[in-house]
Amino acid sequence: MSYLEYCSNCGKKNIYGFIDGGLRYHCLNCNSIHYENPKPTSTLICPESKNILLVKRAVEPGKGLWGLPGGFIELNETPDQAAIRELKEETNLDGRVNCQLGYTSHFNSLHGDILLLAFLMDVSDFKDMVAGDDADDAKLFPLNQLPQLAFTSHEKIVEMYINYLNKLKLSV
């Protein structure tokens, strides 16, 4: 059963078909259209000198692989707040958002379509780093010797960071 098989408004069976400009689940009984959107995440680059922080993923997707810290933005939470919270939950580190590096998308993941907002974080002290929550391990890796990352989207965010560093060099 798909999660949109039944109308969340009236409980009758939805149909899947073209309506309001796209293919969507909708209900012929109460005329509800069940719009779907990508889920936003905050995904983090946390540099320490020439290293960046990676976490070993404790859950699927990408279990056992290294990835950037981060996670889904909760209701009533800004992307910045999500960034700070996820960093704390996964690594016990306190950070603050320096700037947004960009964004990328991951389609058809285990959680559906994901919108990744990439943030550059300032972490002043890495000594209290402890892997927690969805992370089995947390470690700093040299930027030029990263392991294979769990997702192409995370590799794209690392590229954004490298481009950002290159622009900084050009501007000084």
* Nearer to Zn ion among residue 6 and residue 103 (C-beta): 6
Instruction: Report H helices in the chain.
Output: 79-91, 152-171
CB of 75 to Zn ion, least distance (A): 24
Task: State residue 157 phi and psi, 5-degree precision.
Answer: -70, -35
Toward Zn ion, which CB reaches closer, 12 or 96?
A: 12
CA torsion sign for 92, 93, 99, 100 is negative
Give the separation between CA 135 and CA 12, rounded to whole angstroms. 40
Q: At closest approach, how far in Å is the CB of 23 from Zn ion?
A: 18
User: Residue 158 corresponds to which tokens in the numbers above?
Assistant: 């690392």
Residue placing its CB nearer to Zn ion in the complex, 9 or 100: 9
Interacting residues toward Zn ion by CB under 5 A: 7, 9-10, 27, 29-30, 32
Q: Shortest approach of Zn ion to residue 9 CB, angstroms?
A: 4
